[in-house]
Structure 1
Amino acid sequence: MIIHEVETYSENEMKALQLTRLQETLKRVYGNVPFYHSKFDELGLKPEDIKTVEDISKLPFTVKADLRNSKPFELFATSMKEVVRIHASSGTSGTPTIVGYTEGDINNWADIVARAIAIAGGEADGVFQNAYGYGLFTGGLGLHYGGERLGMATIPISGGNTTRQINIIEECKPTVIAGTPSYILRIAEEMESMGKDPLESSLKFGIFGAEPWSEELRKVLESKLGIKACDIYGLSEVMGPGIAMECHEAQDGLHIAEDHFIVEVINPDTLQPVPDGEEGELVFTSLTKEASPVIRYRTGDIASITRGTCSCGRTTARMSRVKGRIDDMLIIRGVNVFPSEIEECLLRNEDLVPHYQVHLYHEDAMDHVELHVEINEQIYRNCNDDLKNDYIKTVAKNVRHDMKNYCLVTMKVNVLAPGSIPRSEGKAIRIIDHRKKGLPV
């Protein structure tokens, strides 16, 4: 369902709108944020020097360290009197970053997320179960306000309490559910363990994000729940969820809210733009954010961009599913591997369930990788007791072979009994770095 004509703007119409909003944003940050004022002056730039959308390449980048190294409200472009809400990033990759919102920001955000939910299949007469965590994390409240703005009956259940999640699904008959894909998978598995069939639920659409997930995991979620599983993208530093949303019709890239954000894709080493369709680091500039706008924010997320009219009728640029973060990339004996690539490979194996962890060690002056996977309980239970050890050895051998052929890496594989790998009620912890005293990364 297309709920705003801007979703079908021509390229020229969108660029004209973007340029007007970009110029307004640049004036705001140059006049009110000393950090950006200094950055512009160092380059000899004034806001009025930006005369086309393409001129954005003249502007300085912003990186997460800039936000972390500033005092909490130092990068705000408005007075605190105008700020009505403060959020913070999850801090999974370091110190959380603080972001502010004016009343105008909250309204714009609600509109953006309402559009995103509609893109994923939500409708005003439906019921929306929001299993994202509420609080400083932007996921919960971001999706909540969007659901209400769209006109859906929104259930603020938050994350956790899986039994209650299932009860609410049965009693309130939601048509759309949102949460991290790993946690929604846990809900489906818990339903099965209770003797309930997830396919018999009222759910039709799922909105999943906040962690990288693979096409193979999409297939698992869709087959277990009988839904269309769609990817949502957002960062607190830029706005929150809703920056981009995958449509349920095509499921072929996430439509970016280009009237609120300009997207670029750059080579993270050279910082030069890459052609459409080529993977690189996503860079976003906010166009309507009042309290804490960002200019050319380097997200660290790896994806590509395609343009053209989608089969759903929208003309906005689409970003691919995020392959991973630059700082999540593993370098195993000279080969670059993202956790999402490991996941995609593992989920093709019917002997395994969709849970895994990568353990990193440093021994004998070298880094070592150990992959922990979990055996499929039903297959394991039906296996003759005398053959179980041989079966596990065969599974481990097959996984090592698949990793070598698909991911081009050799790693030790530890096949665990059903239920051994911890389940998460939020973001799944996929990498355990024992080189850093066991801290998850």
Structure 2
Amino acid sequence: MNIKNIRSIDSGSTSGCGCSPPGNKGQTKPSCCAPAPRQTAVKTPCCRPATQPSPQTSSNCAASDQKADAKPPCCGPAATVTGGEIDENVPGFLGWLTTATGRVPQIRSELSFIDHLGACKARWALNRMNFIVPPGLYAIGSPSGDDPVVVTSNYKMTYDIVRQALAGHNIWLLVLETFGINVWCAAGKGTFGTDELVRRINDSGLAKVVNHRRLLLPILGAPGVAAHEVARETGFTITYATIRADDLPQFLDNGMITTREMRQLTFSFYERLILVPVELVTSLRTALLTTLALFIIGLIAGGTAAGIKFGAAYLGAMLTGVAVGPMLLPWLPGKSFAVKGAAAGILWSLAWYMIAGGSSWNIAETVAVFLGLPAISAFYTLNFTGCSTYTSRTGVKKEMRLSLPAMGGALVLSLLLLLIGRFQ
């Protein structure tokens, strides 16, 4: 969801995680962000083996003697981006609350225009990897030692959604350093995990701030946290509260009981729609170059009109795969995202046939269009598996092994048919 953007304690992902989508309710298993139970050694393609980090270690991707300013793990931003230190400039800052361990920032629940603008920009992949808040302990309202402790990530959209949902409550908010990644994806990659949670509990002096020993975690953060190890190392027990942050007030007012609805993960039309902008911006970076190349090829082969048609046909297929496929996901045939994307691509092929005067095409050109454009749409819709709520990592890999060669073959055959059609 990544979320990749469902309004949850884990909410705010601009692309699910690059991990997850549509809706089998009740299923909370991450997709491309594989579950990451705590390990003493972590091996990933871009991380060297790592032993259990010390309290000063900033991620699991480095050895335990790694310096605190080391780069974030491979699942985080490409650049070195951390939340920094808490000061008066944290979003929503109201003042300082004095505790047994020092000052804790009190933050407002109401979001400002700047907060909303920042979220909008992040949805469009603008300044996304700097949309981050400092990790540490925050106070919502005027919490006492008996009030609940909610744990979340330091992706600012998540932070904003959680503090807004908790308006009118007195809450301690413990923010983990996930390098600007939402809870679900960070849990799958290990940054929203056991070691970081233990570290923040100790660094914040939480045991001296509250009288109880209970933490409320988002359900989608469960893959990254070994609750028994947190309890053994800190004395704090973990309760997995809800999926959506909007359900937290009801959860708190209902004696901290999680209902069935609070455990159900949806992927509605709106929840799919808000993921489209970031996917669109990401795809356009290469799609515009491809469109230009096709325009030049068409220009050489048949003049300006042909160049425009080549570029427009491709661009339409790309937009169909990025936007139309995801939005129509439940209604398109098949289970495979590639098949669904191809189905959407066939619709675009029919539309293009009418727009571009397909009645004048020969058989080779017509077949080429109905082979090539659906293959392009299928490729871009396949990318949306990283935003869905019901795909699995192994399932996505299997689908890619089967579908990518088919897409490539369809494109090659389409180009050959276009060449044949030119000489008919």
TM-score interval, smaller chain: under 0.3
Greater share of helix residues, 1 or 2?
2
Greater share of strand residues, 1 or 2?
1
Q: Which has the larger radius of gyration?
A: 2
What TM-score, normalized by structure 1, do the two folds share?
A: 0.26
What TM-score, normalized by structure 2, do the two folds share?
A: 0.27
